[in-house]
Every structure is written in C-alpha cells, then in structure tokens.
Amino acid sequence: MKFIRYCLFLLSILIWNTSLSQNDIVSKLEAIAIIDQKVMMPMRDGVRLATDIFRPKSDQKVPIIFSKTPYNFNSWGDGEFRARTYETAYEAVKRGYAYVVQNERGKFFSEGEWDILGPPTTDGYDAFEWMSKQSWSNGKIGIYGCSSTAEWQMAVAALDHPALAAMVPQGFGAGVGKVGEYYEQGNWYRGGAQQMLFTSWLYGTQLDAYRPTFPKNISQQDLIRVQRFYDLAPEMPSVDWSVALRHLPVQDIITNVNGSVGVYEKMIKRKPNDPDWFKGGLYHDNMNIKVPGYWFVSWYDVSSSPNIALYNHVRNSKDASVADNQYLVIAPTLHCAYKRATENTIVGERSVGDARLDYDAMVYGWFDLWLKGESNEFKRTTPRVQYFTMGSNKWQKSETWPPANATMTTYFLSSSGKANSRFGDGKLVGGKAPSKDTPDSFTYDPDFPVASYGGNVCCTGNAVKGGAYDQSQMETRNDILVYTTEPFKEGVEISGFIESMLYVSSDAKDTDFTIKLIDVYPDGRAYNLDETIQRVRYREGYDKEVFMEKGKVYKVNLTPMSTSNYFAAGHSIRIEISSSNFPRFDRNLNTGGNNYDESKGVVAHNNVHHSAQYPSQIRLPIVTK
C-alpha cells in the first residue's frame, strides 16, 4: 500500500510539472501574442472551420505559418499535440510570424463531415484566400507540419493559390496517392497489400455518426466559453492491437473492438485503382506543384521511398525555377521523430550515433527566405539533399538522390534449393545468375504468418515496434528464405533505391512475396533496413488482377526500397524472402477472393526460382568514393 501511495505521489508530481510546463509556454505566448481562438473560418459552401490564430502584438503586417490537422489542439487540458501547438505558436510569433492552426472539416469544433485528409481540397484554398486578406497579413503563407499536418499539403499546393509561398511537409506519405511506380494510395497499400497501420489509426481518429456536436452557427464567444469544459475529444478504450489485428475478416476489425462506425468500412473495400482514391485529398503525380518545398523524410518511416520519389518528381519539374527550389532532408529516425534525435540516437535497438540537426533554424531560414523575402544564406549553405548514413553514422550531402556516385550493382539469388532460414545455403552473388534452377520452396500458412519485428512503420499501437531490431532469431523459421553476401573485406555504402525482381511459382491462385533488406554484423546480429511486399495478382499493374496457375513461373518486380547504410568491413548484405510480414501488412488468404471480407484462408506452397532463365536478383546502389 505504501508503494502504491508513493507511485501515486510521483505521478501527481509528474502531472503537476507537465501542467506547469504547459502553463509556462502559454504565459510566454500571451506576453508576445494576440491570441484569437475559435475563429470560425467560412468555406465556399458555408461550412465553418475552427481556427486558432496567434500573431505578434504589433501593427506590422506579418507572414503566416499555417497548419491544418485532424487532432485536438484545444488549449484547455493536457495533451502532447496541444502542448506542441503552443510551442510552435510561440516559436513562430517570437520570430515575427502569425501562426494559424485549423481543424479539418468535421473534426472537433469544425463544422461539416470528416473524411480522411479533410476533403475537399478547396478548404485549403479557401483558407489561403481568407488569411491572405486579413488586415494583419502581408499576403504570404507557408504551410508546415508532420504526418497528418503535412499530408494534405501537396494536393492543396497543386491548386496554386497565389498567397502560398512555401511548404514544409514532414513525414507526408499518407498524402501521396500515386507517384511514379509507387501506387500506395496514401500508405493504404504497398504492392497491392494493405498496410494495417490505418486500421489502428482510424480506430482513434475516424468519427462516429452519433458523436456529440454543437449547433451550426454557434458564436465564437460561446465556443471560447464552452471549450473550457467541452472539447468533443472522444476517450477511446485501449485496444491490444497485437491481438485485435488478427481478427478476420479484416473489414470487421474495428467493429470487433466496438469502435466507431466511420470511413474505414468503406475504405477497406477499395482496390488500388478505385476511382474514389482520386476524388479526395490525395496528391497524384499528374498534379502540378510549383511551390518551393523543403521536404523531410526519415528512414524508418512507413513511406520513405514514395516520399523521396515525390521529392524527385517535383525536383525534376520542367520549370527550372520550380526544380531549383526543392530541398530534402532524410533522417535516421521513426515517423516524425526528427527532433527526438540525441547525441546517441537509438532507433529500435540499434545506435546510429549523433543524428541531431537544428530543425527550427533550418525551417525558419526557409520561411524567412520565402515569406519575409530576406536575403539570407539558406540557398548558399543548405545542401540540396542532406541525408544520414547509418553504420558510418554521419550526415552527408548530395545534389541528387540517389547520389551521383551511386552505381546500381546486381546480386543474384543462389542456393542448392535449401535457403530456408539463416542455417540454409542461400547466397547473394555478383557476376551472373547460376546456370541451373534449384528453386527454394516454403509453405505459407495465413494462420501462422511471419510476425513483423521492427520495421518502417507507424501508428500500429503495440502491434509493431518501429525501427531496427536483430532479426537473427526470426530467421530460424523455415518459411523465411535467407540470402547473404560473403562478408565484405572493405566497407561498402549503399545509398539510394533498392530494386528487386523475383521469379516465383505457387499452387495458390494468389499470394504475396515479401523482402527485407538486412545489415548482418560479424557477430551474427542482423538489423533490418527496409522492407517491401507484392501481392502477385497485381504484378502486371493495379488496374487489373491476374491470378496464377499452378506450375507456372512468374516474374514479379517489387516496389523499390530505399536506405543509406554503411556496411563496415566484416559485415554482409542479406535479404529475407517470405510471404508474410504481419501485421505490418495484412495476410493474403491465398484464395484469390477479396481478402478483406474473408475469414478462411488456404495454405500456399511457394517457390522462388533462380537461374539464368529465372534471374531472381536485387540491385543495390553502391556508392563509390
């Protein structure tokens, strides 16, 4: 009992200190800012969006930094996002900016009905129009944020409002629909397989039809008053997602945990090429971005590859002035964890050393250039691409991504048909593919999938821990094929996109193939770098489904991975191949059916072929110094 009382005492101190810290930042902000809360900004259809405005106490016209979010930024009560809102507002106002934060349509105090990414995109355009005409505005707007406060930025930027002068999207993958060969529809898919992060994320984010709301056209004065005791934030019961995500059918997972009824139930039924993906807030590469962009990506985020591909897409604009005003930073962190880097940054269980940067100075140098028109040193001193190389644990710079001195080098899969587990004979070999086909075979049972262990992920609750974890114990499973190079005599840097091509066969109509890229240490530790998957029915494109026939061999190109990693002398490069990585990705039930509405699967007997006729391979961007 004494111990419990002592713990409660410590907890009360922690809560008091957190509240004190938040109160401190509010007091500091009030000293320098005019704070105008619950401004109900009108959209073209009459819907009003709840907006808080923080601006300097002066008569000077100032530029605006704007964030839009589905999350709760009500100033009353505790909460990480609320605290960050006030910290960001204080930093902006201190530097001579107005900071404006707005809830998406249908979220909290904002009117209307919510959908993911807060469609319609015209809401963003209308917000720019309203803000740019305020008496305290200098007519320049920059958009800023990470994850959900970044993902809406690209599609709205493509609307080309004249007041939008700069953007800083960070961890923005869920806003990328299709770019180049990436057809993820906002991280919903990878290679046609569902990324299950949205199941757990939407449980806590989507809105139930019977949620409490305020009367339409309630006054700003009344909203300011009632926000002190009503903030419309649901308290969702905690869920053990390591168990909940196993439920079948997938379409009923949120219902099975008594969650709200919302957009998940309709989104789970969309196929990768469904027209609805092209109606909302997602950016697709047929949309033209002209806005100067400072893009932030992280290696262990869920979408580093499509994020970098989007940067390259805009950077390769035919308009030289657009191309010249794009910059990229790639950090060795988890989703939106840039500022959490320390002198000894641990990502998962692997140390990548000192990964710190002065992000505030970088971002505000960018905004000072474009929103204030300052002739600062940003463009002269900022690398076009600033990226962190793990293994050597250092920041590097390049004019392009991949770096110009990265050469694609092919390694072929080889074995005598016994590549199962790390105790098998699977090898990655240079030169040429083996002459004889000795395929490696394994059994994929959807009821016993390979568990996700670490990885490039976010938002899955306790189901998956993101980051680098030693895979060597996982590699004892016989349904994981393991292929490894000989240990390097000299260090090798891999920086760029990693391409892989497999020749496969199966006795199932449809199945998945997965790949993980691994850094193997001399002592046997095997740290994951990136991962990908391909649902075989989509091997010929996402506008059609082509099923397999037993005994036939099919070529499958997997969605490219990406990393920057130094393999020191004595290290090896390894890939793992299997047919599941769950619950990072949903399980293919192998039936050829819809998958999302099925409860029973079939066991698949899968084969990976490797020979001159079937040259299964991985292509690695090796940097030459």
| Residue 590: strand, helix, or coil | coil
Mapping DSSP to helix (H, G, I), strand (E, B) and coil, where does residue 414 land?
A: strand
- 383 pLDDT tier (thresholds 50, 70, 90): very high
Rounded Cα distance, 118 and 102, in Å? 11
Pairing assessment for the beta strands 406-414 and 427-429 based on DSSP bridges: antiparallel
Place of tokens 């490219």: 560
Let me know if 191 is exposed, middle or buried by CB neighbors in 10 A (0-12, 13-18, 19+). buried
C-alpha 464/C-alpha 261 separation (Å) is: 24
Mean pLDDT of 536-559: 97
Pairing of the two strands 385-389 and 326-334: parallel
CA distance 407 to 559: 19
26-36 per-position pLDDT tens digit: 889 999 999 99
Residues 6+ apart with CB under 8 A from 107: 69, 70, 71, 114, 118, 207
- Distance, CA of 81 to CA of 149 (rounded, Å): 11
Q: Is the dihedral of CA 91, 92, 98, 101 positive or negative?
A: negative
Q: Across residues 391-404, what is the average pLDDT? A: 98
For 399-412, give the DSSP string. Answer: SSSS-TTEEEEEEE
Q: Is pLDDT larger for residue 15 or for residue 367?
A: 367
Q: Reduce the DSSP state of residue 130 to 3 states and report it.
A: helix
pLDDT band of residue 8 (cuts 50, 70, 90) is: very low
What CATH number belongs to 406-623?
2.60.120.260
The answer to whether 515 and 456 have CB atoms below 8 angstroms apart is: no
Tell me the two tokens of residue 309: 């591909």
- Percentage with pLDDT > 90 across the chain: 88
Q: Both tokens of residue 257?
A: 């945990």
**pLDDT at 17 (0 to 100):** 37
In DSSP notation, 240-300 reads -HHHHTT-SSGGGHHHHTT---STHHHHTT--TT-GGGGTSS-EETTS---S-EEEEEEEE
Q: Judge whether 568 and 391 are in contact, CB under 8 Å.
A: yes
10 pLDDT above the threshold of 70: no
Cβ atoms of 305 and 176 within 8 Å: the answer is: no
**Has residue 334 got a pLDDT over 50?**
yes
**pLDDT tens-digit profile of 49-72?**
999 999 999 999 999 999 999 999
Task: Name the pairing type of β-strands 283-284 and 176-179.
Answer: parallel
pLDDT of residue 20: 40
CA 105 – CA 119 distance, rounded (Å): 7
- Helix (H) or strand (E) run with residue 80 in it: helix 80-94
Burial class (CB in 10 A: 0-12, 13-18, 19+), 429: middle
pLDDT at 48: 96
CA 622, CA 415: separation in Å to the nearest integer?
24
Rounded CA separation 387/396 (Å): 5
pTM exceeding the 0.85 threshold for the entire prediction: yes
Backbone dihedral angles phi then psi of residue 175, each to the nearest 5 degrees: -100, 0
- Categorize the per-residue pLDDT at 190 as very low, low, confident or very high, splitting at 50, 70 and 90: very high
DSSP 379: H
Q: Is the dihedral of CA 585, 588, 592, 597 positive or negative?
A: negative
Domain segments of the chain as ranges: 406-623
Examine the pLDDT at 286 and tell me if it is beyond 50.
yes
Question: Mind listing the pLDDT tens digit for each residue in 232-255?
Answer: 888 899 999 999 999 999 999 999
User: How confident is residue 21, by pLDDT bands cut at 50, 70 and 90?
Assistant: low
State the Cα angle at 158 between 157 and 164, rounded to 5°. 35
Reference 91, options 59, 67, 124, 61; nearest CA is 67
